[in-house]
A and B are shown apart, each in its own frame.
Chain A
């Protein structure tokens, strides 16, 4: 027995796919965008209606739901309906949109495992080819 055979050689660990811990999945950004957009468009509607009622007497008369309140009753009613309609429509359209930019992606799923198995470093490529043949 030679001296080189007596030297302890630690076992080479088998190449393993990087283990990732699953984190909380990123929520789609569609509903959030719908909320912000509906708030912005609601503000726009409010501004347009208030300008129109101040500029035109016809609009003011048309928007007077309650005589004791005046045209602001119609403005708030139309404004609330507009916001709710916009919110519903935008939520439906944007519900399945992309995740939030910068948010963490869910890791550890089947797609990530397949990607990790595909992206084997060049040093380990022979091992991968051998495993595929077997």
Chain B
């Protein structure tokens, strides 16, 4: 169940990070809090994507057998 939905979080997190970058613009260079927030969102999106890829590869190995 989770394997089919975890990848849906990635575009949402990446869109949130892109929205922050678009909204704050150059202020992002001075503001550490917002910069870390955007960084955490984007790293989270990458982590979720990696997890989805890992689960997907494991599923494609196991699915033809069962």
- A interface with B by C-beta (< 8 Å): 24, 26-27, 29, 31-32, 35-36, 38-39, 42-43, 46-47, 50-51, 54, 72, 75-76, 79, 83, 100-104
A101 to B5, CA, bound (A): 34
For the complex formed, measure the closest distance between the CB of A87 and the CB atoms of chain B, giving whole angstroms. 9
- Cβ-closest chain A residue relative to B20: A32
- B interface with A by C-beta (< 8 Å): 1-2, 4-5, 8-9, 12-13, 15-16, 19-20, 23-24, 26-27, 30-34, 37, 41
Q: Is A35 a contact partner of B32 (Cβ separation < 8 A)?
A: no
Q: Is A103 a contact partner of B27 (Cβ separation < 8 A)?
A: yes
In the complex, besides A27-B23, A36-B16, 15 extra interface pairs with C-beta distance below 8 angstroms are A24-B27, A26-B27, A29-B34, A32-B23, A32-B24, A32-B37, A35-B16, A35-B19, A35-B23, A39-B13, A46-B5, A46-B8, A46-B9, A51-B1, A75-B5
| Chain A residues touching B, majority SS | helix
11 A-B pairs with CB atoms under 8 Å apart are: A24-B27, A26-B27, A26-B31, A31-B23, A36-B16, A46-B9, A75-B5, A83-B12, A101-B33, A102-B33, A103-B30
A76 to B34, CA, bound (A): 29
A29 to B31, CA, bound (A): 11
Residues of chain B contacted by A104 (CB below 8 angstroms): 30
- Cβ-closest chain A residue relative to B45: A39
For the complex formed, measure the closest distance between the CB of A25 and the CB atoms of chain B, giving whole angstroms. 8
For the complex formed, measure the closest distance between the CB of A47 and the CB atoms of chain B, giving whole angstroms. 8
Known: A24-B26, A31-B23. A39 touches B41 (CB 8 A): yes
